[in-house]
Structure 1
Amino acid sequence: MELRVLRYFLMVVNERNISRAAEKLHVSQPTISRQLKDLEDELGVTLFVRGSRSIDLTEAGEYFATQARQIVVLADKAVANVNQTQELTGSIMIGSAEAPMMTTVAQAIARLAVSAPQVHVGIYSTDANEVHSRLNAGVFDFGVVMEPIAKDDMDFINLPGTTAWGLLVRQDSPLAQKHAISADDLVDQRIVMPQQHGSIDYLANWLGASDRELNVVATYNLLYNASIMVDAGVGATLCLDGIINTASSDLRFIPLAPRLEAKSSLIWPKHTPLSPAATAFLRALRSLLPSNH
């Protein structure tokens, strides 16, 4: 089993598409397909479930992706440590929920671009559920998630700043005239809810009663799409402030009362060695944090 084949495999895991993986690797699609088939034959397991448009990992594939990522990271780290004079290169993939606190992460990326210009950073916008899954599969190096979320199997850094939960409504909604939204205001509304389990539990606790149920007509994982549903009249969306710019739009964000704040964290798997590029990013991020953070 060669490192080159593991890199092919991990690129396909990341892209979920052989054609895109082949394009990024600058090799032919038949080459990738043949190498993956040889790898499955060598291991004696099926790594992928191949669909018409994308491919997904089997349970064995999820496990092997985690192990393969660690092997490649260790190999890259060993090479970098042997040749300290070589300019730092590599790539970092960050899976991120939509959060205003991404500002600190963006500043760290900018600082890294100065100290290590050959390192490429990719941002993949998704929800915390997929961030967790892809971190464990070795696809993401880091994740940015909204609290509360279970972090028992993760190392983490709490990012500075907070934002507030509120309701995104159309300007012609009766609620648009309010300065704050109470739990009672939501009872008769058509609600579009976030999909993240931690957020759902957090909001349920804010409602203040176990038997209080909302009329949830749709769910979302990216707020931009949810804002389109609000604009189309599907319902009002429970969401975080500072993500959708409502200026010059037909939408209005109204905070919840009592105020419900949200924080975010940068997370990465425990006991998984970081690549030199990922270590450099983490160093850049920590340099931006307050001394007591």
Structure 2
Amino acid sequence: MELRVLRYFQAVVQNRNISRAALQLHVSQPTISRQLHDLEEELGITLFDRGSRTIQLTDSGEYFSNQVNQILALTDKTLANIHEDQDIRGNIVIGSSEARSFLNIAQSFTGLQKKYPHIQLDVISTNADQIRTSIKSGYYDFGVIMEPGDKTDYDFIRLPGESRWGLLVSNRSPLATRDHLELSDLAGEKLLISGQHGMREQLNDWLGGNTTQLNVVATYTLLYNASLMVSAGMGSALCLDGIINTNQSDLVFVPFQPRLTSGTSLVWHHGQHHSAAAEAFLKQLSSDIGQPLP
């Protein structure tokens, strides 16, 4: 009795259909049918009630199915434990928007590198548009994008925490003395906004479609560059808190009231084949933040 055949049997039981099981396992339907017939011959019992339109197990088949699940679970656990201490090497490439929640990525990678010191992390700071393009091309393993974002064709894990929206202003600005701003305050400012796809739509949604009076003087990809433009007097940058350290600088972050916040997600292309290093990182992150993988 081979483990491969037991996995065929398990897939047929789970899918209640030989054709769907064949697609899942990437083998032909006749191959599965022949293997199941040989399995019944080997065991000397009938596993399936073939009089039904869908796959139905006999009483003996039900018992055998429960035992198979335990056998395969123990096999998988044993193999995982065997390989757990083997060294994993390689590079993980992550394209990331600027976000405070990237700290979760850094903390998980720190834990991962204690187990596998030969894994290297390459982080590329960019926007969501470039992240999607580079994930599809296979250049990035993962991306960190702000919410809300289009995740069609992507699997993802939501990262803990949220960041608050507001304006990064010069300490010479009259707004710098305020403890909060309202969206209506944007109308009187020269604005620097993120150039990534969806930002103007987000503004339009916040302002109920009334964006015609906004004075957008520049767009930016990285907030650090925008902060230099704010220091130079070009205007105020619409951004998230916690990215630019304003301590001992000529900049002040003033949040919006009512609160406007965004979360972040780690994304990867649906069906993407991960390297051993990337797979190990996903498992580490999932464990650290207490979220199951999709």
TM-score after normalising by structure 2: 0.69
Structure 2 unaligned segments of length 5 or more: list them.
1-79
| CA–CA separation in structure 2 for the residues paired with 1:244 and 1:204 | 25
Structure 2 counterparts to residues 1-293 of structure 1, below 5 A:
84=83, 86-290=86-290
What is the rounded CA distance, in whole Å, between the counterparts of 2:191 and 2:130 in structure 1?
Answer: 23
Which range moves more in the overlay, 196-205 or 104-113?
A: 196-205
Provide the C-alpha distance between the structure 2 equivalents of 1:276 and 1:197, rounded to a whole number of angstroms. Answer: 32
User: 1:251 is matched by which residue type in structure 2?
Assistant: L
Counterparts of 1:273 and 1:292, CA distance in 2: 18
Q: Displacement of 1:258 after TM fit?
A: 1.8
Distance (whole Å) between structure 2 residues aligned to residue 180 and residue 265 of structure 1:
27
Pairwise CA distance, 1:188: 1.9
Partner Cα separation in structure 1 for residue 100 and residue 218 of structure 2: 24
For residues 180-211 of structure 1, give each alpha carbon's deviation from its aligned partner in whole angstroms, at most 9, with x where no partner exists. 11122111211001112233322221123345
Deviation at 1:130, TM superposition (A): 0.5
Separation in 1, partners of 2:177, 2:160: 32
> 2:157, 2:291 within 8 Å by CA — same for their partners in 1?
no
Is this contact kept in 2: 1:147–1:198, CA < 8 A?
no
- Partners in 1 of 2:255 and 2:222 — Cα distance? 19
Contact 1:89 1:116 in 2 (8 A): yes
**Take 2:292 and 2:286, find their aligned partners in 1: how far apart are those partners?**
11
Q: Which has the larger radius of gyration?
A: 2
Amino acid at match of 2:125: S
Helix, strand or coil: the match of 1:266?
Answer: strand
CA distance in 2, matches of 1:284, 1:170: 41
Instruction: Using the TM superposition, give the Cα deviation of residue 125 of structure 1 relative to its aligned residue in structure 2, in angstroms.
Output: 0.5
Identity %: 45
Q: Deviations over 1:20-63 (max 9, x none)?
A: xxxxxxxxxxxxxxxxxxxxxxxxxxxxxxxxxxxxxxxxxxxx
User: Could you tell me how far 1:291 is from its partner in structure 2?
Assistant: 5.7
Query: How far 1:110 moved relative to its partner?
Result: 0.2
Write the distance in 1 (CA, Å) between the matches of 2:266 and 2:108. Answer: 12
* 8 Å contact kept, 2:193–2:219: yes
SS in 2 for 1:271: coil
Q: Secondary structure at the match of 2:99?
A: coil
SS state at 1:263 partner: strand
Asked if 2 retains the 8 angstrom alpha-carbon contact of 1:227 and 1:237, the reply is yes
1:292 Cα deviation after fit: 8.2
Aligned equivalents of 1:225, 1:214: Cα separation in 2: 21
TM-score (norm 1): 0.69
What is the number of residues matched between the two proteins?
212
AA paired with 1:118? H
Give structure 1 stretches of 5+ with no counterpart: 1-80
Please list the CA deviations of residues 62-83 of structure 1 after superposition, one character each: whole Å capped at 9, or x if unmatched.
Answer: xxxxxxxxxxxxxxxxxxx9x9
CA-atom RMSD, angstroms?
1.9
1:211 to 1:190, Cα distance in 2 relative to 1, 3 A: closer
